C-alpha cells in the first residue's frame, strides 16, 4: 500500500544559544529549555550537547523553529520534537540519525517501508539506495518536495510510482543499479508528417 502526495557534520552549539538555560540535567533527563527562531538542525544539536547524546541531522533537516522543551526525559523530548516537525529517527550504535525521510528494507519479503514529509525526490532516492545497498542514478530532477508513505512495497514498484509522478522520465533497471533518466523529446524528422486521424478514413 502506498500514498504519494506530489510536488506539494554541523558543529555543536554553544550553550549560550539557549534562551532559557537548563536548570538541571542528568544523563537521561532535562528540566526545561527554550529556543527562539533557530535552525531546526541547531536545536537538535543543542539538545545533543546538553544531553550527552550523539544526534546527527542530515541534509534534509532544514527550516527554523521556536520550541520549548518541558521537563521530561531525553527520549520523550526528542520523540515529541521530531513528531512536531515531521522528522524521522534511526538509532544505530548509539547514534541518533534524524532525517525527513526514512526507509527500511526487509530482506525476507524483499519490500520497503518508506516515509517522507516535504522532501525532495533526490533525497528519497538516496535514502532508498542506502537501504537497498544498490546504486540509483538519476538525471537532474525537479526540486519540488513530495510526501511519500509506503508500506511493504517492492523496490521496483516504488521507483515506478515515483517515475510516473515525475513525468518525462523513465527507469532503467539493471542487476547492480537503477537509472532514472529524462526522456529526450521527439520532434520527428524534417518533412515527416503524419496525417490527422480525424481526417483519415
Q: Say which CATH number the domain at 141 has.
A: 3.55.50.30
- DSSP assignment letter at 120: E
135 phi and psi, to 5 degrees? Answer: -70, 135
Q: pLDDT band for 27, please (50, 70, 90 cuts).
A: very low
What pLDDT does 5 receive? Answer: 54
Higher pLDDT residue, 128 or 144? 128
Q: What is the band of 49 on the pLDDT scale with cuts at 50, 70, 90?
A: confident
Between 69 and 38, where is the model more confident? 38
Q: Which residue has the higher pLDDT, 158 or 16?
A: 158
Same domain, yes or no, for 30 and 49? yes
- Cell numbers describing residue 186: 521527439
Number of domains the chain is built from: 2
Q: Is residue 201 part of a domain?
A: no
Q: Are residues 107 and 160 in the same domain?
A: yes
| Strand, coil or helix: 118 | strand
Nearest to 18 by CA among 29, 2, 31, 6: 31
Element (DSSP H or E) covering residue 4: strand 2-5
88 neighbors 63 (Cβ within 8 angstroms): no
Q: Is the pLDDT of residue 11 over 60?
A: no
Sign of the C-alpha dihedral computed for residues 85, 22, 58 and 11 taken in this order: positive
Query: pLDDT confidence of 10, banded at 50, 70, 90?
Result: very low
pLDDT at 97: 96
- 106 and 91 share a domain? no
Q: Are 84 and 100 in contact (CB under 8 A)?
A: no
Structural domain boundaries enclosing 42 = 11-98
Cα–Cα distance, 78 to 42 (Å, whole number): 13
Let me know if residue 130 belongs to a domain: yes
Statement to judge: residues 106 and 30 lie in one domain: no
> How would residue 23 be classed by pLDDT, with cut points 50, 70 and 90?
very low
Cell numbers found for residue 19: 534562551
Tell me what percent of the chain is helix, strand and coil, each rounded to the nearest 5: 25, 40, 35
At 66-99, the pLDDT tens digits run 999 888 888 999 999 999 999 999 999 999 999 9
**pLDDT score, position 14:** 44
Kindly state whether residue 119 falls inside one of the protein's structural domains: yes
* Per-residue confidence band for 189, with pLDDT thresholds at 50, 70 and 90: low
% of the chain exceeding 70 in pLDDT? 78
Q: What 3-state class would DSSP assign to 147?
A: strand
Q: pLDDT tens digit string along 177-186? A: 999 999 987 6
Q: Residue 136's pLDDT is what? A: 97
Name residue, grid cell 515506478: 160
Q: Please provide the average confidence, as pLDDT, over all residues in the chain.
A: 82
Q: Is residue 193 a part of any domain in this protein? A: no
Cα–Cα separations (whole angstroms), residue 53 to 28, 96, 149, 155: 9, 8, 29, 33
Amino acid at each position: 500500500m502506498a500514498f504519494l502526495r506530489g510536488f506539494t557534520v554541523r558543529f555543536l552549539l554553544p550553550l549560550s544559544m539557549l534562551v532559557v538555560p537548563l536548570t538541571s540535567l542528568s544523563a537521561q533527563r532535562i528540566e526545561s529549555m527554550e529556543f527562539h527562531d533557530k535552525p531546526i538542525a541547531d536545536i537538535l544539536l543543542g539538545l545533543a550537547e546538553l544531553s550527552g547524546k550523539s544526534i546527527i541531522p542530515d541534509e534534509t533537516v532544514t527550516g527554523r523553529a521556536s520550541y520549548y522543551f518541558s521537563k521530561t526525559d531525553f527520549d520523550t523530548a526528542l520523540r515529541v520534537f521530531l513528531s512536531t516537525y515531521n522528522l524521522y529517527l534511526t538509532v544505530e550504535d548509539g547514534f541518533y540519525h534524524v532525517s525527513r525521510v526514512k526507509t527500511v528494507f526487509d530482506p525476507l519479503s524483499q519490500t520497503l517501508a518508506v516515509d517522507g514529509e516535504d522532501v525532495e525526490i533526490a533525497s528519497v532516492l538516496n535514502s532508498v539506495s542506502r537501504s537497498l545497498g544498490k546504486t540509483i542514478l538519476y538525471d537532474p530532477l525537479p526540486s519540488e518536495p513530495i510526501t511519500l508513505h509506503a508500506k511493504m512495497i517492492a523496490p521496483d514498484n516504488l521507483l515506478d510510482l515515483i517515475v510516473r509522478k515525475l513525468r518525462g522520465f523513465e527507469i532503467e533497471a539493471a542487476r547492480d543499479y537503477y537509472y532514472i533518466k529524462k526522456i529526450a523529446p521527439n520532434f520527428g524528422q524534417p518533412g515527416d508528417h503524419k496525417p490527422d486521424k480525424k481526417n483519415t478514413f
